[in-house]
Amino acid sequence: MPITEFLEKNAINYGNDICLTEINPDIPEDNGSTWKEYSLIQPEITEHYKREISWKEFDDTANKFANMLISRGIKKGDKVAILLMNCLEWLPIYFGILKAGALAVPLNYRYTADEIKYCLDLSESDAIVFGKEFVGRMETIYDIIPNIKLKIFVGYDCPTFAKSYTKLIAKYDVSKPDIEINDDDDAALYFSSGTTGFPKAILHNHLSLVSSCETEQNHHSQTREDTFLCIPPLYHTGAKMHWFGSLISGGKAVLLRGIKPELILKAVSDEHCTIVWLLVPWAQDILDAIDRGDVNINDYNLDQWRLMHIGAQPVPPSLIKRWKEKFPNHKYDTNYGLSESIGPGCVHLGVDNIHKVGAIGIAGYKWQTKICDVEGNQVSDGEVGELAVKGRGVMKCYYNDPEATQAVLRDGWLFTGDMAKKDEDGFIYLVDRKKDVIISGGENIYPVQIEDFLRSHTAIKDVAVIGLPDERLGEITAAIIEVKQDYNCTEEEIIEFCNSLPRYKRPRKIIFADVPRNPTGKIEKPKLREKYCGGSLVAAQIK
């Protein structure tokens, strides 16, 4: 069945139950509002500390959005991009796209205007929904994306080149669109990149999304009594697919727009959250704040919090040891996955396997794993090879890129590009990454983009960007810079030069040294990693 049927069943069975709560700590707490007041009755209202919708309101709004898209010429198989920060509108828009028979195309909110255009072109998107944070970027490209026949703005002060989401959906009814959808129909395009830094569009069908729901619930046992605290961005497969556990169970979720320790603990306490997915820096910050005395966990109602799990980057075992000291009653899990495997869960540690922290775990629910040599043959336990996974959540293909698809899909197996080994108990450990992507604070950073930028500096002869281990962020970017003969260059000069890069792409460490290359001209990054960070990184991650 298509994933939209879960939403429709929840609307029938639990229609009046609150399913989504958005908390915006930047707004005074007494400025509350319901979904209807915001979207339909009082569109001039902008933001509120807390907004909520029920399952029926969720489904009704998704239907209204779907009917609007259809009336505006969006057909089955068309693509609709989503460029929004986490907000209460995000998921109803996503499901409205699916109900219209179209494909949802979530975009990374960090993308520059050029990257947004590139992804819109690559995905052959027909429409885009965007929020106030992206008006400036959209203004620079709106007239050079001719294939985008519908630009929809979520918020107030709608720009002249777009249509208001609130006004568009107001006149449409809540009836389910008469569009037939089945398991094999295409559902979504997600973006991922290799070391080149150029995104690939990853195609998933409805069966893939449904499999993610089932995997997540099996791993974390969500029920209607659970409340999931979602902090990471919904464009990412990790956040959305963890929320799928709430969707399949009819449970509540809270979208928190803030990452400070006191905000997380307050949300858990006030909203009675039972499951929280954290990135390593956020967990680290909570523990550090407790140790410094900045927060007192006794000031919060945390007894109902039963599970903390982590993904998106390497997880230091020492962090989990500290966490269990502060929260001894918490279950813990870590998840490994890729956007190509519909996000987290193709490998997971398992809540009863904390003695194996450091491993990424075992094959997830209804998943298979193997570790292979360069010929594709399985290696023996303890030997290093490339991790491959197989299951219903494997992508159909890289959209319009058969060569890239063929490189990673073989007989239904997805070759991840990650080097791993298995112990005698069957638990998988990552040894190194075949690709050079740096994961810092849960975000993928592509070295070649930074290298190309730095090479435009007149004093730089050559440059290599690698990741260095960092206790809080997992990794930080380091630029090894080889200066041209007879040129002088300082660290301060490079830092100032990089100010035009997005903050998350700026190197955190500058090293002036020769850049080694092999006889074919390729940078020898393994040598650099060995020299500056002692070799391979070993820990759990999700891309």
DSSP annotation of 133 reads G
In which residue ranges of the chain is pLDDT below 50?
35-45, 194-196, 519-520, 535-543
Query: Residue with structure tokens 């006004």?
Result: 167
Q: What is the pLDDT of residue 449?
A: 77
Q: What is the pLDDT of residue 518?
A: 59
Query: Residue with structure tokens 């319009």?
Result: 400
Q: Which of 66, 75, 55, 53 is nearest to 93 (CA)?
A: 66
Write out 328-381 in H/E/C secondary structure: CCCEEEEEEEEHHHCEEEEEECCCCCHHHECECEEECCCEEEEEECCCCCECCC
Measured between alpha carbons, how far is 206 from 244 in angstroms, rounded to an integer?
13
Q: What is the pLDDT of residue 42?
A: 43
- CA 446 from centre of chain: 16
Both structure tokens of 474: 């997992």
Both structure tokens of 409: 């899909």
Write out 210-270 in H/E/C secondary structure: HHHHHHHHHHHCCCCCCEEEECCCCCCHHHHHHHHHHHHHCCEEEEECCCCHHHHHHHHHH
Q: What is the pLDDT of residue 261?
A: 96
Residue 26, C-beta contacts closer than 8 angstroms, at least 6 positions apart: 47, 257, 258
| Residue count (the chain) | 543
Residue 520, C-beta contacts closer than 8 angstroms, at least 6 positions apart: none
Query: What is the torsional sign of CA 370, 371, 376, 379?
Result: negative
Number of H helices, E strands in the chain: 16, 27
Q: What is the pLDDT of residue 344?
A: 87
Please provide residue 330's backbone torsions phi and psi, each rounded to the nearest 5 degrees.
Answer: -80, 135
Measured between alpha carbons, how far is 125 from 524 in angstroms, rounded to an integer?
38
Measured between alpha carbons, how far is 377 from 360 in angstroms, rounded to an integer?
21
Alpha helices of 140-205 — where are they, by DSSP H? 165-170
Reported pTM:
0.83
For 132-174, how does the pLDDT look when each residue is reduced to its tens digit (9 = 90+)? Answer: 999 999 999 999 999 999 999 999 899 999 999 999 999 999 9
Both structure tokens of 509: 């460490």
Q: Pairing relation of β-strands 438-440 and 443-445?
A: antiparallel
Q: Are 58 and 92 in contact (CB under 8 A)?
A: yes
Q: Does residue 178 sit in helix, strand or coil?
A: coil
Q: Where are the domains of the chain?
A: 4-258, 438-533
So what's the architecture of 438-533 in CATH? 2-Layer Sandwich (3.30)
So what's the architecture of 4-258 in CATH? 3-Layer(aba) Sandwich (3.40)
Q: What is the pLDDT of residue 517?
A: 75
Stated as kind and residue range, the H or E segment containing 151 is strand 150-154
Measured between alpha carbons, how far is 466 from 528 in angstroms, rounded to an integer?
8
Measured between alpha carbons, how far is 48 from 87 in angstroms, rounded to an integer?
11
Do domains 4-258 and 438-533 share one topology? The answer is no
Q: What angle do CA 86, 443, 385 make, to 5 degrees?
A: 135
Measured between alpha carbons, how far is 289 from 259 in angstroms, rounded to an integer?
13
Distance of CA 11 to CAs 1, 6, 171, 223, 417, Å? 17, 9, 21, 16, 41
Q: What is the pLDDT of residue 307?
A: 97
